[in-house]
Structure 1
């Protein structure tokens, strides 16, 4: 048996906050979620998989565009032409009431209803597979859904599809079908196909409990490689292999700058980091001062002048392979002069505020603002908030002088 596990396609993601770039680059970014799914379909056909699982959030918003829906239907039709079934569930971004017989999807697409249900198929080699899942009928599902999943069926294989998040200590924070790995394992399934978290990760090896992440990172906090999992049977077990296919990779590059003339040196160094054949890169540049940087240089960095210079040079390329969208001026924050007691209080306060558990608690209060809440628990975001707080304290002390 061989199948593809994907989730969180977020077709038609708006990529907010990106502006003032050449049209060809913006079109590449805007089309990236579409391109990623198209590549998944290409690989499903090439690998001759038995079926494809899509675990929630096909679209970026519940009111998605006609273009996104038409594209998804056409890709499913391509799979239909190769007799590849698709099993999908809707998540918290594309939640909807699932009605039987009311669909524009091809006949090879099997949609899970709003209550937990099991669908069964027989493969060409006569093996039987049970797939259990459900679709979100509303944005939040605070109740435990796993309790409604049946124990392993008598079929050869049993797969669970769950768009949800690990349960937190505070139930008020659990809005997305909360679960624990332990209760998943109690069902004795052969594979758990998860969705909702945008970073690919394996929560358990045997049986595999897997988040594939989103196939295309949508902003700087979704950096690194993105793709899907190709799952194959190996005797009595299933093994999952991650496949990177994202057309755009978000990454951070560190550079040194102590005078304006260094800008050309940095951009040459950046060009060397993008190898031929690699996917397009969206780059955040962290500039570290290595010397006594002038006030003018700092101003040109912070007001965007040097970033514009970089972008103008890259825009001159016939086919740019990367785009710098942000420059961060780093350096040790000049905190106010503190007594030993004040420093102790600051260190303790920073430790209590800028950590993942504190951010999870904050996210619980912001859950209805998904576009904010989903980014705050990223380690890179937490460190950025801590650094900015330190810099603000230093600037305030400077102004008082």
Structure 2
């Protein structure tokens, strides 16, 4: 969060948008609230306004005692509302959004989003998921992309999905993803995004913030590899991270013949001793896989149902499916 705010200040952005799930848990510690307050205060001192909504992880509860945020922060209530705003240069923007007041918002709320008055740009914040065929899982303000585009807004700042994804550039419809991977399922670079709006649509400039990244790596060894070959291959992998500026947590697979003769726990102990202090490279899990088994595990690739099966398996692995 601190990196994002510093970047926003250095780039002299017009405003900051936060589309829900500021906190990972419903139980928001005072320590977390104070940290968030301090970053919002930094934006206030830089004369940068903030518009935010609450999502399913940090939904608004009337009786919850929250730290009052600085005056530059506008928090949307549980009803969709419009907030007019004008930049120092005279650009008029109308912001729209609502906060969750319960964990699940099962109904499509796009009907509540209506443009009001004249403005140079109309910008909407929404914490939700794109509608799928599996409607029983659409418990987070589901929306249809076609319907969203027809609303006539210039930009939709989306929250909820932890993966960065551009759904549309004209109009801009964008998931920035989360700012730090929470588990081995959330691989790749995480961070914030500078969005530039014009009459031509939206452009996106991503910047990294996560101090720790999760990755999945696979080493394939030819023939009947021995300990020397495994050590050389894994050491070579470690060397590729030598000049990195962030830390990595890696789930590693080593594919080789006679995989059963190698003890994963023994090698994990070695990798722990090889770990550098900061930034570090940490082998989180290690699997030795028989080469023939690695091939048979993908028997369905290239067949008609391959894409659908992969998509279903990925959905089942998502935490939100079981909330």
Q: In the alignment, is residue 296 of structure 1 matched against residue 261 of structure 2?
A: yes
Q: In the alignment, is residue 323 of structure 1 matched against residue 282 of structure 2?
A: yes
Q: What is the correspondence of 1:55-134 to structure 2 with a 5 Å cutoff?
A: 55-97=19-61, 104-134=68-98
Deviations 1:215-273 (CA, angstroms, capped at 9, x unpaired): 11111111111112201234554322222222222112222452233343133212221
- For the 8 Å contact 1:80–1:106, the answer to whether it is kept is yes
Distance 1:43 1:98, change over 3 A: farther
Give the match for residue 332 of structure 1: 292
Deviation at 1:275, TM superposition (A): 4.3
- For the 8 Å contact 1:263–1:306, the answer to whether it is kept is no
Give the match for residue 202 of structure 1: 166
Compare relative contact order (CA 8 Å, sep 6+) and give the higher one, 1 or 2. 1
Deviation at 1:355, TM superposition (A): 3.7
Q: What is the correspondence of 1:111-260 to structure 2 with a 5 Å cutoff?
A: 111-151=75-115, 153-234=117-198, 237-256=201-220, 258-260=225-227
Give the match for residue 310 of structure 1: 271
Give the whole-Å Cα distance in 2 for the aligned partners of 1:372 and 1:157.
Answer: 33
Q: Which runs of 5+ in 1 are unaligned?
A: 1-36, 337-342, 364-369, 376-401
Give the whole-Å Cα distance in 2 for the aligned partners of 1:320 and 1:234.
Answer: 39
Give the match for residue 265 of structure 1: 232
- For the 8 Å contact 2:20–2:55, the answer to whether it is kept is yes
Deviation at 1:94, TM superposition (A): 0.4
Q: In the alignment, is residue 356 of structure 1 matched against residue 282 of structure 2?
A: no
Give the whole-Å Cα distance in 2 for the aligned partners of 1:169 and 1:356.
Answer: 12
Determine which of 373, 387, 401 is the counterpart of 2:321.
373
- Higher percent of residues as helix: 1
Task: Classify the secondary structure of the residue corresponding to 2:227.
Answer: coil
Task: Classify the secondary structure of the residue corresponding to 2:192.
Answer: strand
Give the match for residue 14 of structure 1: none
Give TM-score scaled by structure 2 length: 0.88
- For the 8 Å contact 2:82–2:116, the answer to whether it is kept is no
Give the match for residue 39 of structure 1: 3
Q: More deviation in 113-122 or 265-274? A: 265-274
